């Protein structure tokens, strides 16, 4: 699935801006808060080959409060059977009456387009230590998945679970570049629970 690139613009004239780039998608993004940056990293990290993700997808014009308003979602996640248009907000903002009305209106509006509107908060993003672990692993996604090295690394291993240092030692014993261990983890060739502290992670083949 491939989405045509579109020009990214800053939506707000105040506050911090962050820039992201996905080598896999060959696409850059502008993020306007630390939470949006974490959301962006989360979406890219768990994106499957038959899915696509873009920030600032095409806007819609709605008439909430009786006047035309231009609305641009923070992100769009394209799955094989569903399109999600997503707004990133801190949880306390989602409790405000004005935002609740806006959410209900946009939910109905996007439903007419056979799309799902949903709000993503820090409670969805900052689960355990997942944000920190993704930040650690994301640079490895600029390299291709080391499929061949992973097969060599895991050949003969059972599925009892290994910590990171054990995998490094196994790689050295098999004369495999230890950098490929972290790349294998980043490309989700191992199964693990990224909400745990890095030192406590257990990786399964």
Q: How confident is the model at residue 13 (pLDDT cuts 50, 70, 90)?
A: very low
Q: Indicate the DSSP class of residue 67.
A: S
pLDDT-derived band at 63 (thresholds 50, 70, 90) equals confident
Q: What is the pTM of this model?
A: 0.85
Residue 162: phi and psi, rounded to 5, are: -135, 145
- Interatomic CA distance for residues 65 and 102, integer angstroms: 10
| DSSP code of residue 112 | T
pLDDT band of residue 49 (cuts 50, 70, 90) is very high
User: Strands, DSSP E only, in the chain?
Assistant: 18-22, 27-31, 52-55, 60-62, 69-71, 75-78, 83-88, 116-120
Structural contact between residues 74 and 56, judged by C-beta atoms closer than 8 angstroms: yes
Name the 3-class secondary structure at 203: strand
pLDDT digits (tens, 9 = 90+) for 102-121: 999 999 999 999 999 999 99
In angstroms, the CA 189 to CA 205 distance is 8
Domains and CATH numbers, the chain: 18-125 (3.40.1350.10), 130-200 (no CATH)
Name the residue with tokens 């990290």: 45
Q: Give the mean pLDDT of the chain.
A: 90
- Above 90 in pLDDT, residue 62? no
């Amino acid at each position: 699935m491939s989405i045509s690139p579109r020009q990214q613009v800053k939506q707000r004239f105040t506050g911090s801006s962050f820039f992201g780039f996905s080598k896999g998608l060959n696409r850059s993004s502008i993020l306007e808060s630390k939470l949006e940056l974490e959301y962006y990293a989360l979406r890219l990290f768990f994106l499957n080959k038959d899915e696509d993700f873009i920030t600032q997808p095409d806007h819609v014009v709605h008439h909430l409060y009786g006047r035309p308003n231009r609305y641009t979602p923070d992100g769009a996640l394209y799955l094989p059977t569903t399109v999600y248009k997503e707004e990133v907000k801190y949880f306390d903002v989602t409790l405000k009456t004005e935002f609740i009305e806006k959410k209900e209106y946009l939910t109905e509006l996007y439903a007419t387009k056979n799309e799902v509107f949903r709000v993503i908060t820090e409670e969805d993003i900052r689960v355990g230590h997942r944000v920190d672990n993704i930040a650690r692993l994301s640079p490895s996604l600029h390299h291709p998945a080391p499929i061949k090295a992973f097969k060599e690394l895991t050949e003969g291993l059972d599925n009892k679970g290994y910590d990171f240092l054990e995998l490094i030692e196994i790689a050295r014993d098999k004369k495999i570049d230890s950098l490929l261990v972290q790349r294998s983890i980043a490309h989700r060739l191992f199964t693990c629970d990224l909400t745990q502290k890095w030192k406590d992670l257990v990786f399964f083949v």
